[in-house]
């Protein structure tokens, strides 16, 4: 059933997973190498796109090297597995050697961090990776197969951040460049464990009191800025520490506690500056800063574990509000009210456990699934039933809703709508009964609908006729097979295919007629010549803009868009519309974007999207989770200050 030129899709996803896993496993050596490399090229931003030892660059180079072999996906997967063992599993040693070379050249030598324990590294690599399903990643972060990290691995990233932060704090030349303030007085080494435990209890109580005071005197969201929010909190902490020190209720802070407070402060400053969040959501998340600070003080794995409940709940808040564009209407929005309620429950909890946070996460997810007319409830009921035929009505409703989500235009030919909602509907019902929702054949079936709808669209683009002639025989063959599986008779299938061909040909006839009218003021010979070389153009302009060069940075940026990235488009009357990238079909040069409920709302060619991005009519809202972005921002800030200090 596949129409998407995706013989290599599984192999591509496998390489992507290996790249991400290698990058995460070797994070300390990788960040150290990147920091040092950046000092050699101060006018360029060193990241995964140009770092020669980044796993993505290595993987792409390997792909380029074996591409002439034109291997099938099965053989690619085998080769990738061997490549993973031979190259990525040894990457940490290469990075360590590269760091040693730079240390020998006196390039930021104090950033050196010990290599990880080899046995720990092998254990981490053996853990099953999270799902790489492209559609699943567009809407959620899977909690399945989450790596179970040890205390040692949890401390790795935090230790690296401490090294950067403390190095800057102790560097007299870093004045003015240091992003974190000195908070309180650091306790001398040698404090006994009991003293530290008592000190932490006093610190947590002090933070709780500060939180209560700030909540009682919080300004409106409209008047809050990143600097203002962090400034008020830092001032309150400093004042409380000084008062507690005079009263003898709290002593000097130990290094770890001071670092945690500073790093969480930086993290929330980054959240406040994140353009993907509306101000009201920043205000809601900002209110949890002291709660998160208290969590991190007792459990520094917060900085390392992507699935730490405290990180997940903040990501869930951000994702729930990522599509909000009309913030003035949020007071009546049920999701906004629910998040506000959960935030207040976090603030009211004196000792926040992971179990408490997980309960809130489950509650929010259930709430989002139950509101509106989304299909999550249907899908969940189907999944929970071993015999799907027992829920035939649910399966039928689920299929109907998924078909409607694919249809963008209201003026779809009645015969095509009838085909989808009757004969093809029966095929999809049987597919779900056999495989369950989201089985291996589901995405190719949805792609079949997308391609079918594309062939009958009244609006055409240059090159569409050639693509149509290439792909349509395969489309018709797949449709015939699907209809036969669905129980449609051969006679009926023949009639349906004949009628479909008529609609397809008529859609191209309309486009060509419209093109001829566009050039009517020209001499008849010239108009016909233009129509011959540019069939199917329906743009309001007389000529289609020239394509951007292949090496244009916006074209390259679009080509690297991951499934799940959120973009903001200009809708009717300039009203912004936020959508997430859900699918790409190369054979018809289409990229599909859906709203937060999974309904398809935009489809664009690769070149059109690059032009829109270049013109500024489309902008990137976010890529990846909120906390991951904020952590990257903090690390980048620390690295920049390290370069300035050195």
Cα dist. 324→221, 568, 579 in Å?
16, 11, 11
Comparing C-alpha atoms, which of 594, 582, 589 is closest to residue 605?
A: 589
Question: What pLDDT is attached to residue 277?
Answer: 83
Sign of the torsion angle spanned by Cα atoms 542, 548, 553, 559: positive
Question: What pLDDT is attached to residue 64?
Answer: 82
Question: What pLDDT is attached to residue 360?
Answer: 94
Buried b (16+ CB within 10 A) or exposed e, 385-421: eeebeebeebbbebbbbbbebbbeeeebbeebeebbe
Structure-token match 């899709």, residue found: 9
Question: What pLDDT is attached to residue 204?
Answer: 86
Q: What is the 3-state secondary structure (H, E, C) of 487-538?
A: CCCHHHHHHHHHHHHHHHHHHHHHHHHHHHHHCCCCCHHHHHHHHHHCCCCC
Cα dist. 507→220, 527, 601 in Å?
54, 20, 21
Question: What pLDDT is attached to residue 137?
Answer: 46
Q: What is the DSSP string of 611-636?
A: HHHHHTSEEEEESS-HHHHHHHHHHH
Using an 8 Å Cβ cutoff, are 441 and 427 in contact?
A: no
Question: What pLDDT is attached to residue 296?
Answer: 92
Instruction: Tell me the average confidence (pLDDT) per consecutive run of 10 residues in the chain, 646 residues long.
Output: 48 76 73 80 74 88 84 80 89 88 80 43 43 45 39 58 69 46 48 65 86 76 54 77 76 78 90 84 91 92 90 90 67 83 92 92 83 54 63 84 81 89 91 80 87 87 86 92 92 93 88 61 47 39 67 88 84 76 84 80 88 88 80 82 70
Residue-range domains of the chain with CATH: 1-126 (no CATH), 173-366 (no CATH), 410-456+462-533 (no CATH), 553-624 (2.30.30.30)
| Largest CA-CA distance found in the chain, in angstroms, rounded | 95
Tokens of 405: 């989500």
Tokens of 277: 């969040």
| Number of helices followed by number of strands (H, E) in the chain | 27, 5
Using an 8 Å Cβ cutoff, are 213 and 195 in contact?
A: no
Using an 8 Å Cβ cutoff, are 225 and 357 in contact?
A: no
- Is pTM, for the whole model, over 0.95? no
Question: What pLDDT is attached to residue 372?
Answer: 46
Question: What pLDDT is attached to residue 312?
Answer: 93
CA distance 241 to 284: 26
Question: What pLDDT is attached to residue 532?
Answer: 46
CA distance 618 to 554: 11
CA distance 292 to 207: 11
Using an 8 Å Cβ cutoff, are 147 and 124 in contact?
A: yes
Question: What pLDDT is attached to residue 459?
Answer: 81
Question: What pLDDT is attached to residue 87?
Answer: 92
Sign of the torsion angle spanned by Cα atoms 185, 187, 193, 194: negative
CA distance 126 to 175: 45
Burial class (CB in 10 A: 0-12, 13-18, 19+), 157: buried
Question: What pLDDT is attached to residue 514?
Answer: 67
Angle between helices 73-86 and 55-66 (to 10 degrees): 140
């Amino acid at each position: 059933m596949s129409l998407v030129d995706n013989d290599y899709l599984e192999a591509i996803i496998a390489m992507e997973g290996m790249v991400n896993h290698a990058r995460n496993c070797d994070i300390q050596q990788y960040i150290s190498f990147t920091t040092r490399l950046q000092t050699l090229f101060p006018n360029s931003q060193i990241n995964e796109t140009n770092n020669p030892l980044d796993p993505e660059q290595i993987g792409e180079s390997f792909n380029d090297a074996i591409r002439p072999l034109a291997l099938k996906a099965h053989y690619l997967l085998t080769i990738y597995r061997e490549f993973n063992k031979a190259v990525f599993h040894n990457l940490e040693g290469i990075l360590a050697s590269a760091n040693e070379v730079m240390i020998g050249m006196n390039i930021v030598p104090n950033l050196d961090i010990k290599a990880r324990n080899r046995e720990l590294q092998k254990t981490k690599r053996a853990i099953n990776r999270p799902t790489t399903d492209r559609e699943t990643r567009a809407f959620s972060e899977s909690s399945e197969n989450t790596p179970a990290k040890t205390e040692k691995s949890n401390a790795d990233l935090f230790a690296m951040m401490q090294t950067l932060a403390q190095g800057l704090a102790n560097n007299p030349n870093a004045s003015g460049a240091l992003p974190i303030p000195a908070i309180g007085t650091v306790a001398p080494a040698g404090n006994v464990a009991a003293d530290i435990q008592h000190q932490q209890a006093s610190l947590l109580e002090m933070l709780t009191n500060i939180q209560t005071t700030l909540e009682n005197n919080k300004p409106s969201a409209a008047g809050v800025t990143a600097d203002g929010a962090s400034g008020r909190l830092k001032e309150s902490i400093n004042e409380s520490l000084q008062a507690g020190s005079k009263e003898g209720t709290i002593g000097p802070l130990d290094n770890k506690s001071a670092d945690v407070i500073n790093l969480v402060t930086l993290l929330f400053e980054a959240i406040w500056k994140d353009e993907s969040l509306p101000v009201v959501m920043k205000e809601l998340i900002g209110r949890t800063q002291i709660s998160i600070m208290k969590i991190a003080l007792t459990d520094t794995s917060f900085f390392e574990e992507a699935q730490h409940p405290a990180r997940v709940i903040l990501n869930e808040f951000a994702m729930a509000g990522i599509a909000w564009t009309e913030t003035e209407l949020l007071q009546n929005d049920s999701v906004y009210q629910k998040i506000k309620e959960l935030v207040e429950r976090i603030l009211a909890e004196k000792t926040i456990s992971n179990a408490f946070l997980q309960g809130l996460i489950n509650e929010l997810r259930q709430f989002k699934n139950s509101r509106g007319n989304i299909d999550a409830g249907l899908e969940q009921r189907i999944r929970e039933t071993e015999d799907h035929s027992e829920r035939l009505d649910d399966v039928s409703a689920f299929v109907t809703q998924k078909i409607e989500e694919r249809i963008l235009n209201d003026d779809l030919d009645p015969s095509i709508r009838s085909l989808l909602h009757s004969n093809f509907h029966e095929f999809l019902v049987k597919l779900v009964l056999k495989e369950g929702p989201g089985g291996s054949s589901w995405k190719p079936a949805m792609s079949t609908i997308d391609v079918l709808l594309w062939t009958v669209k009244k609006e055409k683009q240059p090159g569409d006729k050639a693509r149509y002639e290439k792909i349509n025989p395969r489309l018709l063959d797949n449709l015939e097979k699907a209809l036969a599986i669905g129980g449609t008779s051969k006679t009926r299938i023949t009639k349906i295919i004949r009628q479909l061909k008529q609609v397809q040909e008529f859609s191209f006839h309309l486009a060509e007629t419209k093109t001829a009218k566009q050039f009517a003021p020209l001499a008849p010979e010239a108009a016909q010549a233009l129509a011959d070389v540019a069939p199917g153009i329906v743009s309001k302009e007389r000529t289609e803009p020239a394509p951007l060069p292949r090496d244009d940075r916006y074209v390259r940026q679009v080509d690297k868009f991951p499934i799940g990235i959120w973009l903001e488009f200009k809708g009717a009357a300039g009203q912004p519309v936020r959508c997430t990238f859900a699918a790409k079909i190369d054979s018809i040069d289409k990229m599909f974007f859906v709203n937060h409920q999974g309904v398809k709302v935009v489809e664009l060619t690769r070149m059109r999207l690059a032009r829109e991005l270049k013109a500024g009519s489309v902008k990137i809202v976010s890529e990846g989770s909120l906390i991951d972005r904020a952590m990257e921002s903090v690390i980048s800030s620390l690295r920049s200050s390290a370069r300035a200090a050195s």
